Amino acid sequence: MASSLTKASAGNPGSEKTFFGHPRGLATLFMTEMWERFSFYGMRALLVLYLVAGGPDAKSGSQGGGLAMDMATATAIYSVYLAMVYLLAMPGGWFGDRVWGPRKTVAVASGVIMVGHLALAIPGQASFFAGLALVAAGSGLLKANISTMVGHLYDGPQDPRRDGGFTLFYIGINIGGFAAPLVIGTVGQSVNWHLGFALAAVGMGLGLIQFLIGTRHLNPKSSLVPKPLSAQERNSTLFKGLAWLIVATVFYGIVSFTGHFTINWALLPITLLGLLIPVAVLVRIKRDKELTQDEQTKVSGYIWFFAAAAVFWMIYDQGGSTMSFFGENKTADSVFGFNFPSTWFQSVNPLWVMALAPVIAWGWLALNRKGKEPSTTRKFAMGLWLVGASFIVFVIPMAMAEGDTKVTPMWLVTIYMIQTIGELCLSPVGLSVTTKMAPEKYASQMTGVWFLAVTAGDCITGLLGIGGVDLNGAAVVGTQGVLAVIAGVGVWLSRKRIEALMGDVR
């Protein structure tokens, strides 16, 4: 993406230049996140296909050498993995707030992610799951803190550039997401799975280098630890962590020794935790007596956005499982005689984001000048309607692709377009409103709470997969779409109540 650096006013924190009218530090975070997403989405494009390769649900004639799982198990693993990436954003935000500060946390996280992708590049089931765990842990450390540093670049929640800055940051995410399936997906699917995973490690390495070079442009606030742990808190945290580790080790040791262990023994507890922890975290924050009355009220309003986002991501994140499987097995892999690997479908959504994000951002500004820009609540309702509509439309090609019939790729392109418009109504706006409504005590952690909405949505999908529900069936897909539309109606009807709880945040 071409850089646009010009002199800025003295009021810009952390820099003397601007990046498309925004603080110069945004360019550093933009590029770091772009490379991190390159590694993440490249691996995601291969994940389900690698898990089923060589198994009963693999496409005839496709590359072997995978883990030969059935599609239900692969979907459950994929959903739980994504849920853990976003669940770990919460402790990642805690590390930024209490231990290392956002800047150091992001640097360490980048190294952990790179090592995780290198582990995935080593053949074998043990190295594969170890790599998934490392990528999930590193991504959790990085996600909340890099978003917090974007917020640090602006002059408070009322800075008019703030929403636009998060939108630009979102474009960086999608440049990486667009390139990854074309590069990593092609190499992994067509040449060698593990070479593709190795390319993901290279991408994260480039992101780490970019971050270390450009860190001087960030706001000095990003290096501070907002509320350092006391010695007593540090010892207590270490003791609790070790105690839970011992309990888990003993429990799974007994299960394995008695010969009862299956993959569901690992997936089911993690999935249930992914549903219970977000609720427990929101309750804990809401009941914190150190919060002011205004902060308490805003947390109550934020719960509405959290629930709406969970429904949205439940459907949206199936782009790498249900829709990926449909693209591999039920969609034609050629256009005008040009053949392409099915992982390329994973680039369609980021391409739509890059094409539509500037248009929608311009549209919000144009409506704002006329005093007609939809409120955050209305944007959330629109996002839910659109993602629901995408799965209702999805039922049509699913019905057409019976037997050996394959549908035109334009069906998936259209479905991704509908989802993308919904995503642009909800996701960047949701991330921005999270930083605006966060109590000061939970600055980085509230950004982690936003990602817990993704965890909750993915865990619902994971539970369905573990329970044997056919997520690739038209009836289940259509039902999810209808439920999302109903949820959007609920948010729309409750908009005045939600906006009253938001206080001065708009």
Stated pTM of the model: 0.84
Mean pLDDT of the chain, nearest integer = 87
Distance CA 175, CA 30 (A): 10
- Given a contact cutoff of 8 angstroms between Cβ atoms, the answer to whether 50 and 193 are in contact is yes
What Cα–Cα distance (Å) separates residue 91 from each residue in 88, 152, 188, 237? 6, 20, 32, 12
pLDDT score of 1: 38
State residue 475's pLDDT score: 93
C-alpha span between 422 and 308 (Å, rounded): 12
Amino acid 157: pLDDT: 67
Look at residue 191 and tell me whether its pLDDT is greater than 70. yes
Task: Compute the average pLDDT of residues 174-197.
Answer: 93
Q: Flag whether pLDDT at 133 surpasses 70.
A: yes
pLDDT band at 108 (very low <50, low <70, confident <90, very high): very high
Which residues does 251 contact at the CB level (< 8 Å), separation at least 6? none
Burial of residue 115, with CB atoms counted within 10 A of its CB: 0-12 exposed, 13-18 middle, 19 or more buried: middle
Q: How far apart are CA 30 and CA 106, in angstroms?
A: 13
> In this model, does residue 447 exceed pLDDT 80?
no
Place of tokens 């956002």: 102
User: What 3-state DSSP class applies to 318?
Assistant: helix
Query: Which one has a higher pLDDT value, 3 or 335?
Result: 335
Per DSSP, what are the bridge partners of residue 331? 407
The secondary structure of 229-264 as a DSSP string is PPHHHHHHHHHHHHHHHHHHHHHHHHHHHTT---HH
In this prediction, residue 346 has a pLDDT band, given cuts at 50, 70 and 90, of very high
Q: Write down the residue that tokens 């996280």 correspond to.
A: 109
Give yes or no for residue 10 having a pLDDT over 60.
no
The total of other beta-carbon atoms located within 10 Å of residue 505's CB is 16
* pLDDT recorded at residue 93: 81
How is residue 372 written in tokens?
């007609």
Residue 364 pLDDT greater than 80, yes or no: yes
Round to whole Å and give the CA distance between 230 and 453. 30
- pLDDT grade, residue 60 (50/70/90)? low
95-109, 162-176, 287-301, 326-340: least confidently modelled range: 162-176
Assess contact for 328 and 406: CB atoms under 8 A: no
Parallel, antiparallel or unpaired: strands 338-339 and 334-335? antiparallel
Confidence of residue 233 (pLDDT cuts 50, 70, 90): confident
pLDDT at 4: 42
Q: Indicate the Cα dihedral angle 218, 222, 224, 229, nearest 10°.
A: -160
